[in-house]
Amino acid sequence: MKEASRHQLSQNEILFYFTRAAVGVQAPFGIAEEFALWSVWMGSSGMDPAPPGNRVLNYLDQEQSTLQGKLSRNSNNMHLNSTTDQFLSALQAGCFVGDWLEEDQETELSIVIENVDVPFLVVAAAGHSSTPCTVSWSEPECRIVFDTNRNWEMSWNGKERPDFSGPSTVSINRDPDFQDLEEFENRSFCEFQKTRQQVLNEGIRTGEEWSSIMSYFRRCLVPSSIQSRESGAGAGLVDTD
C-alpha cells in the first residue's frame, strides 16, 4: 500500500464522513448515523472500516441490495428477509439487530437474517450494542462471540476472513457460545478496551478504499451559488456547500 493511500482519522471524522457517504446512496439519515457508529466500532477494534463500508454502499448503489425487510416470528426465534429478490442490506439488518439486542426479551432468544449482503456489518452492529451474544454464518463457516466486557473472539474455517466474506444468512443468539471454538481452523481475539484506547491515541487507520467512501460522501455536496455565498453558506471559500 502506498503511503499516500493511508489515512488516520478521529472517531468524529469517521462519524462525519461515513454518515454522509451512506446518505450519498440514498440511505435515510438515521440509518446512516447507525452505520457510522458501527464503523467507529470497527476502527476501535483495530480494523479498517472502509472496505466493509464501501462494499455495503456499493451493493445499494448498484441496486443489488434493498433496505426493505419483512419480519416474521415463530415459537423460538424471528426471521428477517428481504421483500424483493435482492439481498437485504446490512444497513437495515444491523439497525434491527441493534434494537433487538438492546431490548430486554426472554421469549425470543435468536434471530435469523436471510441473504445479508455484508454479514460483518451485522457483527459491528452487535459489537456497538455492547450486548453479550453470538453471531454466526456459514459462508465461510464462522462464529463471533461477544463477552460481557465487550471483548470479542472471531473463529472461522478457510482462508477468507469473515470480515471480507460476501452475502450469507446470519444467525444471532443472545447467549454467548464459547463451546467448540477450538474446532475452527483460525481464531482471532480482540481485547476491546485496550485496542480502543490505542486507537483513541493514534487514530483510526484507513487504506486504499477510503477514496471510495469519499466519492460517496461528495454526493452530499451541492454547488455553491452567488446567493449561497452572499448568505454565508460555506463561508464563500469553496465551490460546494
- In whole angstroms, give the CA distance from residue 9 to residue 202: 9
pLDDT tens per residue, range 205-215: 999 999 999 99
Residues found in the chain: 241
The pLDDT value recorded for residue 197 is 96
The pLDDT value recorded for residue 80 is 95
Reported as a pLDDT band with limits 50, 70 and 90, residue 233 is: low
- In whole angstroms, give the CA distance from residue 192 to residue 199: 10
Say if CB 240 and CB 224 are below 8 A apart.
Answer: yes
Give the pTM.
0.89
- In whole angstroms, give the CA distance from residue 125 to residue 95: 7
Phi, psi for residue 7 in degrees, rounded to 5: -140, 145
- In whole angstroms, give the CA distance from residue 164 to residue 182: 22
- In whole angstroms, give the CA distance from residue 29 to residue 35: 10
Reported as a pLDDT band with limits 50, 70 and 90, residue 238 is: low
pLDDT tens per residue, range 146-169: 999 999 999 999 888 888 888 999
- Asked whether residue 35 carries a pLDDT value surpassing 80, the answer given is yes
**Average pLDDT across the chain, whole number:** 89
Cell 441473504 -> residue: 115
More confident residue, 232 or 203: 203
- Asked whether residue 98 carries a pLDDT value surpassing 50, the answer given is yes
pLDDT tens per residue, range 55-79: 999 999 999 999 999 999 877 789 9
The pLDDT value recorded for residue 112 is 95
Region 185-198: mean pLDDT is 95
In the chain, domain spans: 3-221
